[in-house]
């Protein structure tokens, strides 16, 4: 648990989820934290400062231009006081202002003036969360050092269903406790690293109601994101359409098509230390998706579709100039000749490491909770399995186990390889 001296500045912005912030403040106090609250003007329409003052035992700050509080540059003192700035809820508007570096109220000013750990729990309508502008802002905030918790999916106050719900206060507290425990034990081999992971399938539209896709559930990629966050990394998960909650402490960018995933991956890869391509990306898409539903034609027994190749995301990342290239880990889902295909893919696409799965094995792979893997990586110190490029390939077999345990093993191997690359 956090030590009693841990100081949390709780920022509350103008969302209906602000009512949960009162519970969060109480839980933080019970966990032994000192808590001070800053509210935006809009937040006060949903919950009163008096409520938060009663729960924390501290005055609530609401204005940057408070003459009494600013007599001694109070906002700077408050920025220095905090060990952690936690914004819950964080609205789309607040995220946009922070991503742009604005300081037009007390809360955004404190964020720019503080060197504290910065965490936010987004909360907004599902369409707002899915909007490309919000996705860009979320990615920029992660690049700037923010840790995003959620959002969760489910019923929303507006009647919609989808991603955008603020995590429950208990889940937010648990994420903070986990981060504190990692920090206190020193078991954070990925601390300070930026990790980008792709997960799930892509969907390639044929017409307004049909698409090409595959059986990927996204479970392995999500397990990797959870493992990377637990090891202290700042994690961005580029996710195709799946029915999974976002892991705590992970920023999720939702995409549909391979082209959308490629754009997000290339934008984030250059700011990443480690890139893991775990998504099952469609190799082909329709040359031109039909504007209207494709109808059956009486008397015709077949339908001809012209498909074109999608960009190869993992190869594109691996081909980045060395100065901007992360350590690149690929995945290979095969039904036969696992080792041969994995070695070929690692060499041909110039990857640093590859995790190969035999998805034909019953109870493993797509949709299952368990998996097994053959892991291969470049290791110049070993010469028994030299690749055509002159590097030696080392390998390790990971026996069938839960995807969570397998993900942690893969992360530890990737981090060890990355450290060896940096400090030969």
Distance CA 106, CA 204 (A): 45
| 345 in a labelled binding site | yes
| 197 in a labelled binding site | no
DSSP, res 242: -
CA dihedral 296, 302, 303, 309 (to 10 degrees): 150
Q: Which of 33, 111, 158, 417 is catalytic?
A: 158
Provide the angle, in degrees to the nearest 10, between the axes of the packed helices 258-269 and 132-143: 20
The pair phi, psi for residue 219, each rounded to 5°, is -60, -40
Question: Beta strands of 184-249 (E only): which ranges?
Answer: 194-199, 204-207, 210-212, 234-239
| 279 in a labelled binding site | yes
| 331 in a labelled binding site | yes
CA dihedral 176, 180, 186, 187 (to 10 degrees): -30
Residue 42 near residue 89, CB atoms below 8 Å: no
Distance CA 112, CA 107 (A): 9
First to last CA, the chain: 37
Which residues have C-beta within 8 Å of that of residue 37, sequence separation ≥ 6? 9, 10, 11, 12, 25, 49, 52, 53, 56, 58, 60, 61
Which residues have C-beta within 8 Å of that of residue 139, sequence separation ≥ 6? 236, 251, 253, 264, 267, 268
Distance CA 20, CA 121 (A): 11
Provide the angle, in degrees to the nearest 10, between the axes of the packed helices 132-143 and 92-99: 50
Query: Is 246 labeled as catalytic in the residue annotation?
Result: no
Question: Beta strands of 248-326 (E only): which ranges?
Answer: 250-254, 274-277, 284-286, 307-309
| 315 in a labelled binding site | no
DSSP, res 144: T
| 314 in a labelled binding site | yes
Q: What SS3 state is found at 119?
A: strand
Neighbours of 384 (CB within 10 A): 7
| 277 in a labelled binding site | yes
Neighbours of 263 (CB within 10 A): 16
| 225 in a labelled binding site | no
Distance CA 221, CA 404 (A): 10
Binding positions for CTP are: 277-279, 283, 293, 311-314, 331, 345, 349
Hey, which residues are catalytic here? 158
Binding positions are: 277-279, 283, 293, 311-314, 331, 345, 349
């Amino acid at each position: 648990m956090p030590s009693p001296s841990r100081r949390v500045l709780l920022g509350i912005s103008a969302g209906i989820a602000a009512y949960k912030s009162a519970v969060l403040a109480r839980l933080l106090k019970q966990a032994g934290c000192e808590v001070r609250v800053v509210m935006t003007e809009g937040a006060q329409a949903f919950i009163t400062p008096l409520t938060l003052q009663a729960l924390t035992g501290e005055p609530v700050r609401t204005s940057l231009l408070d003459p009494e509080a600013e007599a001694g540059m109070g906002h700077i003192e408050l920025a220095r006081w905090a060990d952690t700035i936690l914004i819950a809820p964080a609205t789309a508007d607040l995220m946009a202002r922070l991503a742009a570096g604005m300081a037009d109220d007390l809360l955004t000013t404190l964020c720019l003036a503080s060197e504290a750990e910065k965490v936010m729990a987004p909360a907004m309508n599902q369409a707002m969360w899915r909007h490309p502008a919000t996705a860009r802002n979320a990615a920029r905030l992660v690049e700037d050092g923010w840790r995003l918790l959620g959002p969760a999916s489910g019923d929303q106050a507006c009647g919609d269903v989808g991603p955008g719900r603020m995590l429950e206060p208990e889940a937010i507290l648990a994420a903070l406790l986990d981060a504190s425990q990692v920090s206190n034990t020193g078991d954070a081999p990925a601390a300070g690293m930026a990790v980008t992971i792709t997960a799930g399938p892509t969907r390639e539209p044929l017409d307004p109601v049909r698409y090409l896709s595959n059986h990927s559930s996204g479970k392995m990629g999500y397990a990797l994101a959870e493992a990377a966050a637990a090891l202290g990394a700042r994690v961005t998960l580029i996710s195709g359409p799946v029915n999974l909650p976002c892991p705590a402490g992970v920023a999720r960018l939702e995409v549909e098509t391979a082209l959308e995933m490629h754009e997000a991956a290339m934008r984030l890869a250059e700011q990443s230390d480690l890139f893991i391509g775990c998504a099952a990306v469609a190799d082909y898409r329709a040359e031109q998706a039909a504007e209207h539903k494709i109808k059956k034609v009486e008397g015709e027994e077949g339908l001809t579709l012209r498909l074109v190749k999608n960009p190869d995301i993992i190869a594109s990342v691996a081909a980045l100039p060395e100065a901007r290239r992360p350590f690149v880990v690929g995945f290979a889902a095969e039904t036969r000749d696992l080792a041969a295909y994995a070695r070929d893919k690692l060499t041909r696409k110039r990857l640093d490491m590859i995790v190969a799965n035999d998805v034909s094995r019953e109870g493993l792979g797509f949709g299952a909770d368990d998996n097994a893997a053959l892991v291969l990586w470049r290791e110049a110190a070993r010469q028994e399995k030299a690749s055509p490029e002159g590097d030696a390939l080392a390998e390790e077999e990971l026996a069938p186990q839960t995807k969570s345990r397998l993900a942690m093993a893969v992360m530890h191997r990737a981090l060890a390889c990355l450290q060896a690359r940096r400090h030969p």
